Structure 1
Amino acid sequence: MRDLTAYIQRRYHAIHLNRLFVATRLARRVELEFAAHPACPQGFSHHLNALAEDIEIHQAKERDEVFPSLVYGLRSSQKFPVLRMMIEHDGFAEELDSLSAMTRGYTVPDDANTDWNLLCAT
């Protein structure tokens, strides 16, 4: 179990945050350059930044509370943190749906630049 939790932290935690930070920078540039464009996802960078902050907190709880419980044995009193993480995962899925709606399914207009294309591909 220790190897699995280390793998999750290395393979998912670090990569998710890195992608969110890159996407936030791209979104800021797109919002500035295409502010007047009708398809510009205004507020997208704010949503991405808030999501990154929430995910950082979530990952810290996993690292500090849930993963040690899994490694050293889950007691009935430790089930609540696991359930809380599952609920938070559902909330993140809802936020991703909201982000998808803001970008019309992560589609870009024909006149989009490289940043906008990269943003929707990230």
Structure 2
Amino acid sequence: MHDDATAAVPQETGALIDHILTNYHEMHRADLASLVPLAERVEQVYADDPDAPKGLAHALTMLAREMEDHMTKEEMILFPALRAGGGAGIEHPIAVMRADHDDHAESISLIRKLTADLAPPEHACGSWRSLYGGTATLLEELAAHIALENDVLFPRFEPAR
């Protein structure tokens, strides 16, 4: 899915953190800022449609809040510490970030459930299809982001597991 993108991932820790901030944190914020109002519109327009993704705007808002809190902790606390070389006790904030990553899975699961796994019905309009396409892209990018942190960045600073 993102194999060719992985080849372009910088190896040096500071450059890798910059890559994560630019390619994931900024993108997630922009994607969620457009997806939430789009979900609200689709839910309003199709309020009487049994296939409508009722609750999707709320689920995306909750994911956005979780992610904002998580990304802010990384930007303010963890990433500056990693740039400085980690140090004693760094595994504790990393463990918190890993737990947050696991928590995101619950929100993602709810979003998939509300949207029939992001498969729009035959009669879905362009906005509805765009909403599901954009949400699918967000979830793919989020999975790549989490994998990059969990599998590449964090292990550099953790004792051998």
- TM-score bin (small chain): over 0.9
Q: Distance in 2 between matches of 1:52 and 1:2?
A: 25
Counterpart in the other structure of 2:28: 16
1:75: how far off?
2.1
Are 1:21 and 1:49, in contact at CA under 8 Å, matched by a contact in 2? no
Are 2:120 and 2:129, in contact at CA under 8 Å, matched by a contact in 1? yes
Secondary structure of 1:8's counterpart equals helix
Q: Distance in 1 between matches of 2:42 and 2:99?
A: 32
Are 1:58 and 1:85, in contact at CA under 8 Å, matched by a contact in 2? yes
Please list every run of at least 4 consecutive aligned residues from structure 1 whose deviation after the TM superposition is greater than 4 angstroms.
none
Are 1:24 and 1:49, in contact at CA under 8 Å, matched by a contact in 2? yes
Gap runs ≥5 in structure 1: none
TM-score w.r.t. structure 2 length? 0.72
Shifted more, 31-40 versus 106-115: the winner is 106-115
Match of 1:108 among 85, 99, 120: 120
C-alpha RMSD of the superposition: 1.0
Are 2:118 and 2:132, in contact at CA under 8 Å, matched by a contact in 1? yes
Gap runs ≥5 in structure 2: 1-12, 135-161
Identity percentage of aligned residues: 31
Secondary structure of 2:52's counterpart equals coil
1:121: how far off?
0.5
Residues 22-62 of structure 1 deviation map (CA, whole Å, 9 limit, x = unaligned):
11111001000000000111111011112111111111100
Counterpart in the other structure of 1:78: 90
- The amino acid of 2:92's aligned partner reads F
Are 1:24 and 1:45, in contact at CA under 8 Å, matched by a contact in 2? yes
Secondary structure of 2:116's counterpart equals coil
- The amino acid of 2:60's aligned partner reads L
Match of 1:43 among 27, 51, 55: 55
1:94: how far off?
2.3
Counterpart in the other structure of 1:98: 110
TM-score w.r.t. structure 1 length? 0.94
1:118: how far off?
0.4
Are 1:100 and 1:106, in contact at CA under 8 Å, matched by a contact in 2? yes
